[in-house]
Structure 1
Amino acid sequence: MDKKVVDLARDVAKVELPPYRNHLDVVVACEDEDDNDVDIPLVSIYFR
């Protein structure tokens, strides 16, 4: 992927990240083959 994290956040979440912000916390939700919820830890993406 050629996009920066801040550009991706702007495009997907439709928000501008303030200049002092240096990370994003991403909540991942998924299911297994049997439609059971799978617990995924919070994903922190650090940038800048």
Structure 2
Amino acid sequence: MNEQRRRRIRLEVSREATRLFWKQGVDATTGEQIAEAVGLSVRTIWRHFRT
């Protein structure tokens, strides 16, 4: 995967996570919900955001 695609994925995940955090709160938002919102697997999400 090239760097440009990696950055695009990270940006999309960040945007969707922020939207879900705003809507539901941080404590009520799961990695599974974020992954579903962007159409990726949870494993892929954690590959891009290790912490």
Q: Tell me which interval the TM-score lies in, with the shorter structure as reference length.
A: under 0.3
Higher Rg: 1
More helix by percentage: 2
Higher strand share: 1
Which has the bigger relative contact order, CA under 8 A and spacing at least 6? Answer: 2
When the two structures are superposed, what TM-score results if normalisation uses the length of structure 2?
0.27
